[in-house]
Structure 1
Amino acid sequence: MKTTFTTLFTSLLLLYTLAAQAQVIRRCNNVGVTGTNIYATLQAAHDASAANDIIYLEPSSISYGPLVCVRPLTIIGNGYFLTQNPGLQLDTRESITDAVTFANGSAGSRITGCRLNGSASIGASNITVERNYFNTSYCYIGYNPSVGSVGVSNIIVRQNFIDNGYDVYLYPGSTAATAVSNVNIINNIITGNITTPTGQFTRLSNILITNNVIGNLTGSSSYRIDVDNAVIKNNILTYTGTGNNFTPRNNAYSNNISGNTAFGTANGNQQNVAPTAMFVGGTGSTDGAFVLRAAPNPAIGTGESGTNVGAFGGVNPYRLSGIPNVPTIYQYNQSVTGNTLNATISTRSNN
């Protein structure tokens, strides 16, 4: 009863917030709630939608399945790591999807607050992937599994947690028509790589890679940045071992920190900085462990224009648990006095 009330109220809150807009709110619920504009799978909600509708994935322990998106939509989940970061959502279950493909026709789409148990393949322009948890999957840019390389531009990959050695993979093809341009990869925590196929670097242009953490907390994994034609700043490469985990090529790079000598010391870059000197660590919260520890800390104030380096710095800092920027319920209390039900609902907006 409490869970059903919470998810329903959250949907109504979203509806109230967006009532002045033309979009229709569609709900995904696969735990028995039915009704108008409620669907058991993400694909079914998509297929019933019109351009610019909003699909809310209600918390569940069951995946809402894969999606091939062919129209502009906003997809909103509940966040992740919610039991580790208490007080953010009343319902701590996740909104789980399998593989999501943004195909031709989906330009303008956005997905946020979801756990992806399959890869996100961006095969259309003007796509935003933000505040999601990639648990067993890649984020491909310029790729549609059905057709291969696809030329795309104006892509934002922001504030995601990409785990278990999986990558943000820029995938330009062999021709100018399949080039990848104007991509912002910002404020992510990636225990994997930011990379592209060997030999295809020249078909990348206007790539911005800023305020990411690449690597694990121990500095033991040689995850890398391997792209071209990029501005690379305010990032942390945690690897402390020997070997080349950054190839400059045609990149401008400044104010980055590496656990080895990857960036050198010119242009505000720092080298040979151990992760333990920067992050709070610990086991309480998977993403909270990457918060910067208090000063003195070589990542505090050493980024461009005095910002902090890493995922929690800059103008769009990483948000714990990928809480989407819509109103959320984080507390609910009720009591009965005679025939009166007294309820207190605590909500907050999230930027």
Structure 2
Amino acid sequence: MKTKLLLTTIALILFQFAVAQTVYTVDNRPESGAQYTTVQAAIDAASAGDVIYIHPSPTSYGSVNVTKTLKLVGPGHNPENSDGLTADLSTIALHADSANSIITGLVLSNITAYSLGTNTHGIHIINNRITNYIDGYAFDGQSNNWIVEGNYFDAGSYLTDCIRANNLNNLQVRNNIIKGQISSSNHTNVFTNNLFIQEDPSGDAQVFVGSNGITSPIVANNMFVFTDADITGLSSTGTAITYTNCLTWKVAGGTPLPALSGSGNLDNTDPQFANIPTSLTDYYNNDYSLNAGSPAIGSATDSGDLGIFGRNFPYDINGRAHSMPYPEAMTILNTVVQPGQDLNVEFQATQKN
């Protein structure tokens, strides 16, 4: 009975994709009813443009190699939404001809481009929880035009280079919550409407760093919020950063931070988040939207809001895929089932815009 219900649920959720491309389901739990038990097997069977839907599981799906344009979809990264489970992978390695792939709704350690003169352009990384880093390192400039948005970068240390932008041109990093550093970014890269959280820096905090230095990326409409009263300023290696319409705030108080270089900035300004019950890093229990009257409302370069909800982006703290219907309610209509009788279930789903 459970298998029949699971397969019916999968069919309802994934129906919208069936017309345009093939959907492959993956679940490594015993007797799950999915088509594959490993993500790599589903990738190998798929054709360019297909969708791989990865079910939550207590066991990681390990590392995978993507060698064609695919959409890898998980259920979101908040365990409370899927009986305490998420769909976890260690490393997604992007190889030849994986250009324009989409990665969404997953918990990941690393996403890395392994490009040797091959095409890994146009990767879209959206609504994931990333516990280590993404790395666009590639030879011959073959990893351009990436979009990284709506993610939660939950690095183990604020010193982790969670976005390694070596040789990534036209990188757009927008509407993410980032605990960690940005490594080796250049003047073609844009960082906008992110919330940078530094937990334990003392002295100068360096968000933009790297052995190759930083060469003037565009940094606008971001929030830089620090939880340590000992922080004395925000600095970078390489070319000095020009901050445009950005906000700084020390949650713990203490000596005010020096003014950011640039224009339109809100220095030492409380963003007035809607609800932070305990701490700024208690992610799933926080509401990072802005209270009415917040100075960050309408203060962006486009006259929108600063932070993760700017650009009218529907930031989802649960990490659910924007284009994916997700279960909202399920009601069993006949709780007593006689032998041979069907179990009648009313299933309701909602699709995010």
Structure 1 residue corresponding to 2:221, chosen from 214, 234, 248: 234
Partner of 1:54: 51
Kindly indicate whether residue 87 of structure 2 is the aligned counterpart of residue 95 of structure 1.
yes
- Please state which structure has a larger fraction of its residues in strand: 2
Distance 2:308 2:285 in 1: 11
Structure 1 residue corresponding to 2:172, chosen from 176, 184, 198: 184
Distance 2:176 2:85 in 1: 22
Structure 1 residue identity aligned to 2:11: L
Q: Taking structure 1 as reference, are residues 61 and 90 closer, same or farther at Cα in structure 2, changes over 3 Å only? A: closer
Residue 266 of structure 1: CA displacement? 4.7
Partner of 1:176: none
Q: TM-score, normalised by structure 1?
A: 0.81
Partner of 1:273: 269
Partner of 1:212: 194
Q: Please give the secondary structure, in 2, of the residue aligned with 1:46.
A: helix
Identity between Structure 1 and Structure 2 (%): 26
List alignment gaps of at least 5 residues for structure 2: 115-119, 250-255
Residues 257 and 263 in structure 1, CA contact (< 8 A), matched pair in contact too: no
Residue 300 of structure 1: CA displacement? 2.2
Q: Taking structure 1 as reference, are residues 79 and 7 closer, same or farther at Cα in structure 2, changes over 3 Å only? A: farther
List alignment gaps of at least 5 residues for structure 1: 84-88, 173-178
Distance 1:338 1:169 in 2: 53
Q: TM-score, normalised by structure 2?
A: 0.81
- How many pairs are equivalent? 324
Q: Please give the secondary structure, in 1, of the residue aligned with 2:189.
A: strand
Q: Please give the secondary structure, in 2, of the residue aligned with 1:264.
A: coil
Partner of 1:224: 207
Residue 264 of structure 1: CA displacement? 2.3
Residue 304 of structure 1: CA displacement? 2.0
Q: Taking structure 1 as reference, are residues 264 and 214 closer, same or farther at Cα in structure 2, changes over 3 Å only? A: same
Partner of 2:253: none
Instruction: Answer with 44-53 or 260-269: which moved more.
Output: 260-269
Q: Taking structure 1 as reference, are residues 47 and 103 closer, same or farther at Cα in structure 2, changes over 3 Å only? A: same
Matches within 5 A, 1:121-160: 121-123=112-114, 124-135=120-131, 137-143=132-138, 151-160=142-151
Kindly indicate whether residue 235 of structure 2 is the aligned counterpart of residue 245 of structure 1.
yes
Distance 2:245 2:314 in 1: 17
Distance 1:5 1:211 in 2: 44
Instruction: Answer with 48-57 or 285-294: which moved more.
Output: 285-294
Distance 1:274 1:246 in 2: 23
Matches within 5 A, 1:35-54: 38-54=35-51
Residue 142 of structure 1: CA displacement? 2.2
Residue 161 of structure 1: CA displacement? 0.4
Q: Taking structure 1 as reference, are residues 212 and 42 closer, same or farther at Cα in structure 2, changes over 3 Å only? A: same
Residue 127 of structure 1: CA displacement? 0.5
Matches within 5 A, 1:1-351: 2=2, 4=3, 7-21=6-20, 23-33=21-31, 38-83=35-80, 89=81, 91-116=83-108, 118-123=109-114, 124-135=120-131, 137-143=132-138, 151-163=142-154, 164-165=156-157, 166-172=160-166, 179-196=167-184, 204-216=186-198, 222=205, 224-226=207-209, 227-239=214-226, 241-246=231-236, 249=239, 252-259=242-249, 261=257, 264=260, 266-274=262-270, 277-278=272-273, 280-283=275-278, 286-289=283-286, 291-325=288-322, 326-334=324-332, 335-336=334-335, 341-351=343-353
